[in-house]
Amino acid sequence: MDDKSALLDQLRIDRSNEPEDSGRGGKKWWIAAVLLLVGAGVAWFLFGKPEGLPVTVATAKAAASNGSAGGSSLLDAAGYVVARRAATVSAKITGLVTEVLIEEGSRVDANQIVARLDDTNIRASLEQARAQLESSRASATQVKVNVANAERDVSRRKGLVEQKFISVAELDTAQTTLDGLRASYNVAERNVAVAARAVDVAQRSFDDTTVRAPFAGVITVKAAQVGEIVSPLSAGGGFTRTGIGTVVDMDSLEVEVDVNENFINRVTSGQPAVIKLNAYPDWSIPAEVIAVIPTADRTKATVKVRVAFKEKDARVLPEMGARVSFLGAAPKAGSPEPAGVIVPSTAVLGSGQPNGTTGAVFLIRGKTVERRAVKLGAKSGSEQTVIAGLNAGDRIAIGDLAKLKDGDVVRITTADAKP
């Protein structure tokens, strides 16, 4: 029995030296890993990226300034293209439209017919006036014949009086008849003149049924249709129109801008400028200040300025949005022009007016960036002139520059943008 007990004791497994439950230990390691990741996230949020991790940026290249504007921009202002010569073409009388000869976009010459009104009644009045004129002329001719006959009668009677065949009284009677006929002839001539004026009035009314363009231009609005009533005295509404259409003289287009009254001293009549239309932002149009309107708008604290296009182009249309850069004096002949490049305004820290402000850019140096101080010139819309510190062709970072610092590693995500 003792031998069997000893043999069983030898076969029993000793578990006194085994480690604790492995499942509980694995759970502790998993919790530690989660805490480590959370700590890393908090550290990233508080202290930024770890050194050496690249920053994603977009880039642009500095472009050489072409100097075509003739000087640096002193001030920028926004406005609209307006036509100094535009008119709503209307009839001078109230009438029914029987014909419309224009469409939007069509060109018209001065005095060209654009519409016709119903002329039935006015034509009848004109014919009546003409008939009255003919009747007056016939009456005047009849009286004139009687006057001539009376003059011959008086002449004969004078001879008879001299020969003592008739009395002087008979001669006086004939002379009185002649004077009366002459007076009647004067009245008849006046009646002819009145009838002629009546014909002229009726003719003018008849001519008013034909509506003509006051000057050459382009039709921008067609307001009336055949069958509608037009009236220059109507306030509009219903089937009554106040005009036939609107004609605009495209040669009279200019830009009107509102300049803050604090900077109006930078604008003078005859000053060179550059116009950029919102529809064509890459098109710089030479311009010149026509006039500074001598009054201010108290509600907006602005002064209106008129700017003329130096070049005419069919792409310029009324009511287009425009931005005007008022330029300073161009460099004198023989004087060195200041070196400068054009970059996007989003590539510069500290961009703005006035000229000479110091800013900073981040140059792309392989896979890193170099912070460089630059001297800034004029800012025009989305473009910034850099007078010193950059060369044409230099590659720079654009966008949110606050996340960059000198020496950061970067990763380029887009092609170079054009300034």
The domain segmentation of the chain, as residue ranges, is: 55-67+337-412, 73-84+251-327, 88-118+209-248, 120-205
Residue-wise pLDDT for 133-172, tens only, equals 999 999 999 999 999 998 898 888 888 888 888 888 888 8
User: What is the pLDDT, as a whole number, of residue 366?
Assistant: 80
In the CATH scheme, what is the homologous superfamily, with its name and number, of domain 73-84+251-327?
Efflux pump adaptor protein, beta barrel domain (2.40.30.170)
> Tell me: the pLDDT tens digits for 352-411?
444 447 788 888 888 888 888 888 776 666 777 777 778 777 888 887 777 777 887 877
What does the alpha-carbon distance between residue 218 and residue 253 come to, in Å, rounded to a whole number? 12
CA distances 75 to 71, 83, 305, 316, Å, are 12, 24, 12, 22
| Integer angstrom CA distances of residue 380 from 69, 92, 344, 353, 392 | 12, 49, 10, 10, 18
pLDDT tops 60 at residue 333: no
Fold exhibited by the domain 55-67+337-412: 2.40.420
Question: How confident is the model at residue 68, as a pLDDT?
Answer: 44
Split at pLDDT 50, 70, 90, the class of 100 is very high
Query: Is residue 1 predicted with pLDDT exceeding 80?
Result: no
Mean pLDDT is lowest, of 290-304, 309-323, 359-373, 399-413, for 399-413
213 half-sphere exposure, CB direction, 13 A CA radius: 26
Query: Which pLDDT score, from 0 to 100, does residue 128 have?
Result: 94
CB 417 within 8 A of CB 63: no
Predicted confidence (pLDDT) at residue 81 exceeds the cutoff of 60: yes
In terms of Cα–Cα distance, which of 325, 331, 342 is closest to 274? 325
Residue 417 has pLDDT above 70, yes or no: no
Give the number of other Cβ atoms within 10 Å of residue 298's Cβ. 8
Are 290 and 307 in contact by the 8 Å Cβ rule? The answer is yes
Say if strands 383-388 and 368-380 run parallel, antiparallel, or are unpaired: antiparallel
Region of 199 on the Ramachandran plot (φ > 0 left; ψ -120 to 50 alpha; else beta): alpha
pLDDT in tens, 2-25: 555 665 565 555 555 555 544 555
The fold adopted by the segment(s) 88-118+209-248 is OB fold (Dihydrolipoamide Acetyltransferase, E2P) (2.40.50)
Residues 6+ apart with CB under 8 A from 78: 257, 258, 321, 322, 323, 324
Mean pLDDT of the chain: 81
For residue 24, the model assigns a pLDDT of: 53
Polymer length of the chain:
419
Lowest mean pLDDT among 92-106, 231-245, 259-273, 396-410: 231-245
pLDDT (0 to 100) of residue 134: 94
Report the pLDDT averaged over residues 94-104.
Answer: 92
Query: Mean pLDDT across the stretch 76-90?
Result: 92
Q: Residue 320 carries which side chain, given as an amino acid letter? A: M
The conformation of residue 303, written as its DSSP 8-state character, comes to: E
Query: Strand runs (DSSP E) across 46-188, as ranges?
Result: 55-61, 63-64, 73-83, 86-89, 95-100, 107-108, 113-117
